[in-house]
Amino acid sequence: MRFLVPFLLVFIVLASCGRSKEKTASGTENTADKDLGEGKALFAREDCGGCHAESSAIIGPSFRQLAAEYESSEANISHLAYKVIIGVKPNEGLWGSREMTPHPQLKKEDAEKIVKYMLSFPADPNKPFLHNTK
Ligand code: HEC
């Protein structure tokens, strides 16, 4: 019995750690889900859908092409949100020669939520757009 006590203690500690980790993980997931939901709504509210769609490249790259190009990291999300706000002039882009109109009315945090939503789709391994970045 004396030998059992340390084992029991270790077990209890491990079990409680596991539980608190689960809580954090699902908490993070809920926030992420909420952000993605807001991103989707903002995407619909703005004019993005006229040029971007999930799988097909309309005028701008599809969500899946974007996901293939950019990891959904904080730095990428912030950079892309900035580009959405300032826009891309014809022949100055990375994906071809087309223009993305600027969105100066869009708050940076809202632009980031839309970009996060766009990057949440599975990557398209075939990127038909000409892409000049290495
Ligand atoms: C008039 C068409 C048009 C509209 C409207 C538009 N886009 Fe774009 N978007 C483009 C084009 C074209 C490109 C590719 C530009 C380039 O070659 O770098 C692009 C590129 C992007 C990129 C990738 C930029 C990069 O550097 O790789 C993101 C992210 C993006 N758009 C998000 C959005 C969001 C969010 C909205 C709505 C707020 C939006 N776009 C509205 C045409 C559009």
Residue 100 Cβ < 6 Å to ligand 1: yes
Annotated domain spans of the chain: 28-134
- The arrangement of secondary structure in 28-134, i.e. its CATH architecture, is Orthogonal Bundle (1.10)
Q: Are 78 and 109 in contact (CB under 8 A)?
A: no
Distance from Cα 47 to the centre of ligand 1, integer Å: 10
Model's pTM, two decimal places? 0.80
Pocket test for ligand 1, best of 36, 42, 52, 69 (most atoms within 8 A of CB): 52
Residue identifier of the C-alpha nearest atom 15 of ligand 1? 93
Q: Which of 74, 69, 82 is nearest to 108 (CA)?
A: 82
pLDDT tens figures, 9-58: 555 555 555 444 444 555 566 787 888 999 999 999 999 999 999 998 88
pLDDT tens figures, 56-109: 888 999 999 999 999 999 999 999 999 999 999 999 999 889 999 999 999 999
Length of the chain: 134
* Percent of the chain topping pLDDT 90: 59
Q: Are 129 and 61 in contact (CB under 8 A)?
A: yes
